[in-house]
Amino acid sequence: MVTLKIDGRELQVEADSTVLEAALQAGVKIPTLCNLKDINKIGACRMCLVEDARSGKLQASCALPVSEGLEIITNSAKVLNARRAVLELILSDHDRSCLTCKRNQTCELQALADELGVTEIPFEGEFIPRTIDEASPSVVRDNNKCILCRRCVAACSKIQCINAIGMQNRGFRTEVGTPFATSLGETDCINCGQCITACPTGALTEKDATAEVWAALADPNKFVIIQPAPAVRVAIGEEFGMPIGTSSTGKLAAALRRLGADRVFDVDFGADLTIMEEGTELLDRIQNGGVLPMITSCSPGWVKYCEHFQKDFIPNLSSCKSPNQMQGAITKTYFAQQQGLDPKNIFVVSVMPCTAKKFEISRPEMGRDSYRDVDANLTTRELARMLRQASIDYMNLPDEAFDDVLGDSTGAAVIFGVTGGVMEAALRTVADILEGKDLQQIEYTAVRGIDNIKEATVTIAGTEIRVAVAHGTGNAGKLLDRVRKGECSYHFIEVMGCPGGCVTGGGQPLVNARTRYEIDPKLARAKAAYACDEALPLRKSHQNPSIQKLYAEFLGKPGSHKAHELLHTSYVER
């Protein structure tokens, strides 16, 4: 431990702390822009300047290590004037069209300008107009709003290990760019959107699909179905003032109904369906000499990463479509037949925690007979914007249920959005099948938590099944390297493209840098998902009566020819 003083107050902190971390521990708030917990602390923006009381020097607190006897002043006139000058310089080269920016009122730069009392910009420096890159199906880049904090670069390179973006040029012409100045859509970007969640301004946003959805809702010839993913219910409330990690399943169903949907289904049904197909596929591979380890394929960011960077593992990918695409396929076949609807007139809107889903729905294999499985994908943030535009009072909505039959689900489906959740849901069903009975021990805690890589061996009916879980493509790459070198072997691996899983996907409500030091959204939202699971009467996918009905009336059995035709696919090298 090290003893130091901050604003005259003596405190002890761990020796490897920074001054910024020590100040936060003491309840002293220091403004930041480039700093992002566990991702970026490089002192680039200079907003976190503090004064060394002994030397009078100003230093960036996020990169300044604590030392014995250090005395720091965080609010002297010298400090405050320097911070304000730094912020004014950043704003002098910034597109200040705040009122029409998606990040209006959630922009960290905007909040700091208000906090520091910036009312005018005294610097009339040159402004270089930048091209807006909209060619990606998922992510829009607007460098006119970039402040060069490098948080997006750190998320892409250090956490996801993709390196689709990086710093280019020098001096006043420095910018975040792509290799050879191509569009982001032409790079190896996996569309995960972690750069968006890291960005403090509107420089990075999701590709907007709200106009397309509004048009479908207004079209009398369209039968509009809206279906949210498991992770949406434990996060969307944050957009309306609920604490991080609050579940609002009933309000979500009610809101979608009031938005004008003809049916409100639940992708949790698709998650249960995925377990039926994926569990059957796993057992078939184990028992009949298939390619092992089998790796989950429900995360489109991870799948695209595999297609780009881990091509030799493509045969290991489960042939199952994601729950989102399975749900769309069943909606436009089984549901359409039940209701006497032409699939071409059904418009399926998915609400996803994920920006990569925008890419996924456009994949040529995700549809048939000239129509798509899913027509439009909204992020959680986009849905929140639509609800505000429609003046829907989310907080005061009653709890309502999703529509039958494709709105019924189990607890196993709810935890799909959490790292380790797909694995646990699959084990619950596989264990019952192998043991031939309804097992009461269904919580596989060894695959829970946010450790980068989790491993477990589960003995079922005398058979040892070795499993592993990784979240974030950087961790997935490390795990697969070990498998490739023969350092470990598994039967089943779950990979989610985003750190923490879908609960902290690229389309979820944004959490600013200061709040991330106080609350870990990965943990808070996961806790809410597990609570939803525990509260449901049925917690195993194969016990869902609507899933049983679907197989009895339409698909036959898991892994049938019809199931493969509609619910399975293949992947390609990129």
User: Could you list the active site residues?
Assistant: 278, 281, 298, 318, 357, 360, 365, 502
Task: Kindly give, in sequence order, each residue whose CB lies less than 8 Å from that of residue 232, ignoring residues fewer than 6 positions away.
Answer: 252, 351, 352, 353, 380, 383
For residues 564 and 319, give the distance between their C-alpha atoms in angstroms, rounded to a whole number: 9
Give strand pairing partners of 175: 168
14, 63 Cβ separation under 8 angstroms = no
- β partners of residue 368: 371
Buried b / exposed e over 384-412, threshold 16 CB at 10 Å, is bebbeeeebebeebeebebbebbbbbbbb
Per the listing, tokens 């403090």 go with 200
Nearest-CA neighbor of 164 among 142, 191, 143, 144? 191
Give the span between the Cα atoms of 331 and 106, in whole angstroms: 36
Neighbouring-strand partners of residue 72: 6, 52
Cα–Cα distance measured from residue 436 to residue 153, given in angstroms and rounded to the nearest whole number: 50
Tokens matching residue 517: 């030091």
**DSSP assignment of 243-257, as one string?**
PTT---HHHHHHHHH
- What does the alpha-carbon distance between residue 573 and residue 180 come to, in Å, rounded to a whole number? 22
If residue 400 lies in a helix (H) or strand (E), which one and from where to where? none
